[in-house]
């Protein structure tokens, strides 16, 4: 068996090479190999200095994710890093690509660091509900400074090596020939008789503004990363570099790391990490079907959504043709796109040249005949089945036979849309989320007759334009909006029963949702849901169903855009305020409908909304609309502001126990009836079998 770590000698320099493709992860074999090679180099009298580098496209990019959730195997990473730092000969780490997590900790334990231009370094553990556990919180502040360490560790974002040269994190940046440059650097150390330079020996002292600095960071992260424990642990650990000796700080860091690793939050965030990588593998789609490349795209509709979708493609280097009914609408849409790009330039998110390049890729037309050669069309027109069927019939005539036709519909039956064409095997849904140029989620709706090649092509395209694409089946609302309707239904019912909009929103935000449900509909526009409900062929005949929202629409209170919805909005600042008039309107409507109002606690609000969502998620799984429970979680994390540290609705249910969820649903069933609260069959089956949603596998 070939070892992933090897030692060779070039003159007086020992070269330790790590070769563990694709990202040189710190597997058990790599950890063992590093220790052995460092010891060999140390014992070789011919070697006076050491260069540690990686083969392939990157330096060590982190831990071996295949070992996640398994019992740790010796040698443990802290022991490996101690061996590296304790080496009696100068040791130079040569970085390229990315040095992340344990990779950066390995570099920090090396005595000197040289990097290839364009490389990045970072400690992203916080994104998995963890903190660095092998000295990262103790060494990074010592060499790069406390504030830089706070910024890098609590955000988890990698930074360019060029930006940390001044902080002494990188000794030298080279443009090419990294290993040759590193050997030359090591030879200079030998000539200068340089000693090992250990970061752990750097002493930090308490500054005058110490207490205020850490208080400010704790307050900032309490707001920015609300509910998350790892960022606060990270701040504590970094502060220990000043308050405690290195060994004690290292011990405390390890204790906090282990506490994080065993926490519900880290389990949830690791679940999301794997689920987001699993969604690219579509159940039932053969691995050898790769799909083809899309070279040009047309978008039907140049409104807010159509313009945002056009930006997704143009920003990925794909030419786009916007289609509108009138030249006035087209010009307005193109101007709106340019304005959005200019906002990105003003915020430093793109350069003026990038703006010009993107704009140059976007054209416009009012003639369907101009679509004869495009590879893909995405329809983003009015949410009406009649309108969409007419558009697709025209597209079927105008586009080349091999072109894929996609609808951005949020709710409608795409099988019906496909039936209006002569190519149902090339018609599917591409449900973007607003704002389309920012939101990561893309629901790819697989129709009854969609071909494997067409589906694979669109999944591949989704990755190219930077989306997290999840394949789902056809039903009203697909996965996300179908579940959101249940979530919203309970919020509306609770309003009639006596809760206020502010109370419901605050309860859900304190639970972890990015926004409360009533603030969300005010922002998006109450009329959107109103129209969608009227397009639903199976709409509930319950007179209470979404009655508060419908009542406000009928009173022309459509949300932020009209200055009033569930809240009142200041005309200039858009700042929302509690509207007693709305509360009175809902109270009067409840009385008219015979609903007795009462005092409702936050826990009931949270359980009603979340359990309704979970129950519908279970039905979606048993119907085969989603292939895995993790797919549902990815949709909710990336499209609906569900807290990542809770892992998504299905993971949350698994975490608290499906028996508890079922018990709660049955309690609501006893009090509120069967109409909405009948437990899903799959949920009852899994509880009876003592299994979780994550154990469930689609039979399709």
Question: Known catalytic residues?
Answer: 105, 125
End-to-end Cα distance, the chain = 40
Cβ burial of 176 (10 Å; 0-12, 13-18, 19+) is: exposed
d(CA 483, CA 348): 36
| DSSP-derived secondary structure letter, 564 | B
Residues 6+ apart with CB under 8 A from 696: 621, 628, 629, 682, 686
For 566, the enclosing helix (H) or strand (E) is none
Q: If DSSP codes are grouped into helix, strand and coil, which group holds residue 500?
A: coil
**Residues contacting residue 464 through CB under 8 Å, at least 6 positions apart:** 294, 316, 318
Residues 6+ apart with CB under 8 A from 328: none
Distance separating alpha carbons of residues 382 and 199, to the nearest angstrom: 61
Q: What Cα–Cα distance (Å) separates residue 645 from each residue in 270, 392, 445, 667, 669?
A: 9, 41, 27, 27, 29
List the one residue out of 677, 680, 676 whose CA is nearest residue 693: 680
DSSP code for 313: H
Extract the tokens encoding 311: 């930006």
For residue 54, give the H/E element and its range: strand 49-54
The whole-angstrom separation of Cα 319 and Cα 363 is: 8
Note if the bond before 406 is cis, omega within 30 degrees. no
Calculate the dihedral angle through the C-alpha atoms of 611, 612, 614, 615, rounding to the nearest 10 degrees: 110
String of b and e for 326-357 (b: at least 16 CB within 10 Å)? eeebbeebbebbeebbeebeeeeebeeeebee
Inter-helix orientation angle 136-144/230-243, to 10°: 60
Adjacency order of strands within the sheet including 5-10: 5-10, 13-18, 49-54, 91-95, 112-116, 172-174
From the list 405, 346, 350, 355, the residue with the least C-alpha distance to 381 is: 405
Q: What is the DSSP string of 419-482?
A: TTSS-GGGEEEEEE-SSTTT--EEEEE--TT--HHHHHHHHHHHHHTT-EEEEE--STTTTHHH
Q: Mind giving me the DSSP string for 527-560? A: HHHHHHHHH-TT----TTTTHHHHHHHHTT--BG
Calpha distance 504→523 (Å, rounded)? 16
Contact at 8 Å (CB) between 565 and 558?
Answer: yes
Those residues with Cβ within 8 angstroms of residue 554's Cβ, 6 or more apart along the chain or in another chain: none
Of residues 5, 169, 36, the one with CA closest to residue 99? 169
Crossing angle for the helix pair 146-155 and 230-243, nearest 10 degrees? 160
The first and second tokens of residue 433, run together, are: 């989320």
Contacts of 584 (CB under 8 A, 6+ apart): none
């Amino acid at each position: 068996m070939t070892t992933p770590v090897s030692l060779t000698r070039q003159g007086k320099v020992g070269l330790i090479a790590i070769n563990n493709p694709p990202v040189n992860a710190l597997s058990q074999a790599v950890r063992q190999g590093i220790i052995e090679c460092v010891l060999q180099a140390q014992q070789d009298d011919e070697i006076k200095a050491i260069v540690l580098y990686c083969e392939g496209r990157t330096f060590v990019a982190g831990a071996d994710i295949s070992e996640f959730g398994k019992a740790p195997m010796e040698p443990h990473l802290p022991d490996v890093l101690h061996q590296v730092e304790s080496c009696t000969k100068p040791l130079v780490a040569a970085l390229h690509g990315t040095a992340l997590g344990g990779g950066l900790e390995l570099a920090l334990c090396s005595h000197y660091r040289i990097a290839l231009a364009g490389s990045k370094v970072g400690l992203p553990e916080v994104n998995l509900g963890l903190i660095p556990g092998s000295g990262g919180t103790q060494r990074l502040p010592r060499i790069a400074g406390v504030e830089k360490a706070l910024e890098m560790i609590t955000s988890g974002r990698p930074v360019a090596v060029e930006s940390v040269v001044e902080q002494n994190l990188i000794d030298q940046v080279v443009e090419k020939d990294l290993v040759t440059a590193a050997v030359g650097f090591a030879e200079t150390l030998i000539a200068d008789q340089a000693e090992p330079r250990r970061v752990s020996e750097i002493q930090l002292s308490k500054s005058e503004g110490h207490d205020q600095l850490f208080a400010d960071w704790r307050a900032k992260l309490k707001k920015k990363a609300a509910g998350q424990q790892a960022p606060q642990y990270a701040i504590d650990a970094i502060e220990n570099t000043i308050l405690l000796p290195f060994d004690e700080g290292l011990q405390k860091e390890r204790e906090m790391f282990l506490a994080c690793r065993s926490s519900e939050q880290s389990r949830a965030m690791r679940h999301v990490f794997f689920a987001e990588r699993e969604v690219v593998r579509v159940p039932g789609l053969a691995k050898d079907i790769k799909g083809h490349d899309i070279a040009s795209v047309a978008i039907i509709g140049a409104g807010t959504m159509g313009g945002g979708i056009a930006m997704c493609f143009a920003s990925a280097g794909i030419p786009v043709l916007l289609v509108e009914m009138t030249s006035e609408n087209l010009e307005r849409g193109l101007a709106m796109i340019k304005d959005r790009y200019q906002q990105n330039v003003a915020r430093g998110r793109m350069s003026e040249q990038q703006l010009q390049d993107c704009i140059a890729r976007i054209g416009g037309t009012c003639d369907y005949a101009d679509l004869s050669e495009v590879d893909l069309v995405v329809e983003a027109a009015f949410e009406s089945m009649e309108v969409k069927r007419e558009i697709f019939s025209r597209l079927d005539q105008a586009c080349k036979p091999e072109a894929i036709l996609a609808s951005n519909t949020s709710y409608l039956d795409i099988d019906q849309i496909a039936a209006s064409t002569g190519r149902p095997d090339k018609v599917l849904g591409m449900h973007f989320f607003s704002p389309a140029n920012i939101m990561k989620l893309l629901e790819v709706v697989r129709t009854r007759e969609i071909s494997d090649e067409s589906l694979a092509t669109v999944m591949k395209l989704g990755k190219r334009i930077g989306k997290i694409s999840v394949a789902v089946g056809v039903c009203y609302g697909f996965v996300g909006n179908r579940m959101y309707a249940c979530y919203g239904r309970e919020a509306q019912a609770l309003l009639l029963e006596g809760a206020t909009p502010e109370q419901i929103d605050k309860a859900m935000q304190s639970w972890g949702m990015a926004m409360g449900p009533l603030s969300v509909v005010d922002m998006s526009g109450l009329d959107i849901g109103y129209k969608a409900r009227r397009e639903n062929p199976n709409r509930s005949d319950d007179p209470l169903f979404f009655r508060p929202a419908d009542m406000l629409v009928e009173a022309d209170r459509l949300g932020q855009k009209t200055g009033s919805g569930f809240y009142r909005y200041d005309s200039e600042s858009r700042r929302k305020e509690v509207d007693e008039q709305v509360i009175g309107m809902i109270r009067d409507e409840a009385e008219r409908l015979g609903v007795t109002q009462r005092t409702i606690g936050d826990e009931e609000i949270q359980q009603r909304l979340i359990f309704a969502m979970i129950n519908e998620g279970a039905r979606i799984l048993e119907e085969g609309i989603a292939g895995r429970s993790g797919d549902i979680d990815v949709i909710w994390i990336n499209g609906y502001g569900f807290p990542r540290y809770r892992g998504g609705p299905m993971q949350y249910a698994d975490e608290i126990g499906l028996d508890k969820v079922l018990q709660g649903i049955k309690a609501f069933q006893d009090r509120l009836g069967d109409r909405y609260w009948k437990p899903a069959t799959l949920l009852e089956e899994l509880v009876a079998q003592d299994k979780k949603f994550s154990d469930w596998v689609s039979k399709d």
